[in-house]
Structure 1
Amino acid sequence: MKIKAKIETGEKPITLNLKGRLAWTLLELVKAGESGITPLHNPAPRVSHYVMSLRRKGVAIDTNMQPHGGAFPGEHGVYRLKCAVTIEQVEGRT
């Protein structure tokens, strides 16, 4: 999968051309809106790594920690976009 996205940074918008899991992660964040995504509901090998990589490219993403129970109780991150993102082009499977 490949996408082209415009990211509003508050200054000058940036255009990102992403592929693979980075493209998937940005699309999932856009689809989730204010609900955000979590590794529990959006399983991927390294969601936190993809989020960090997107941040390094200029995408503003918030993390809120949330407790969870189950066999392995603890906390997990909920990731939410904090900037406007316009998906301009998508190639491949979504």
Structure 2
Amino acid sequence: MDGGQMETPARRQPQPGLDGRYANAAGSSDIAQAAGRAKRAWLYHVTTECGELFTIEAEGRDTWALDQPREAGPKGCIPIKQPASRWSTYVHELRGMGIPINTEMFSYSGAYSGHHARYTLACDVSLSVLQERSAA
């Protein structure tokens, strides 16, 4: 490094109990997966309202975000009841894979008043459990 500055030695050493993950400034840890671990990818069979059939592969939070409205059925899911930091991002990514997802906006009152979304699937989605694989 220039200017005679030395690299912080603690930055390159894993924190105790974190299996190879490192800490960042201000004590926030990287949420990255430990070395040697692989995310699981799942295959979903999708049938649109028009009868078009296709298969997608999803992993990580996209899998979780697809399972929420799939398990909720026609009533859909509300992010205020299934909190996640980037619901709209997950929905955007799933739509990019071809999954038709409806968004209904409605008003809420109370402690978390404002406008909230309800996400429902506009298609049939089935999970192919037997075709699970470890992502590379």
TM-score (normalizing by structure 2): 0.61
Instruction: Compare the two structures and name the one with the higher strand fraction.
Output: 1
Q: Following the alignment from structure 2 to structure 1, what is the Cα–Cα distance between the partners of residues 109 and 93?
A: 28
Q: Is 1:5 the counterpart of 2:33 in the alignment?
A: no
Q: Aligned to 2:55, which of 8, 15, 18? A: 15
CA RMSD of aligned residues (A): 1.8
Question: What is the CA–CA distance in structure 1 between the aligned matches of 2:56 and 2:104, rounded to whole Å?
Answer: 25
Matches within 5 A, 1:1-94: 1-9=40-48, 10=50, 12-89=52-129
Q: 4+ runs of 1 displaced by more than 6 Å?
A: none
Q: Distance in 2 between matches of 1:25 and 1:85?
A: 13
Return the offset for 1:12.
3.5
Q: TM-score, normalised by structure 1?
A: 0.86
Paired amino acid for 2:101: I
Task: Say how many residue pairs are matched.
Answer: 92
Residue by residue over 1:19-71, the C-alpha shift from the partner in whole angstroms, topping out at 9 and shown as x without a partner, is 00000011111100011111101111111110111111110110111111123
Q: Distance between the aligned counterparts of 1:19 and 1:47, measured in 2?
A: 15
The one-letter amino acid paired with 1:23 is T
Residue range with higher mean Cα deviation, 5-14 or 55-64: 5-14
Larger relative CO (CA 8 A, sep 6+): 1 or 2? 1
- Report which stretch shifted further, 24-33 or 11-20: 11-20
Structure 2 unaligned blocks of 5 or more = 1-39
Task: Give ranges in structure 1 of 5+ residues lacking alignment.
Answer: none
Greater Rg by CA: 2
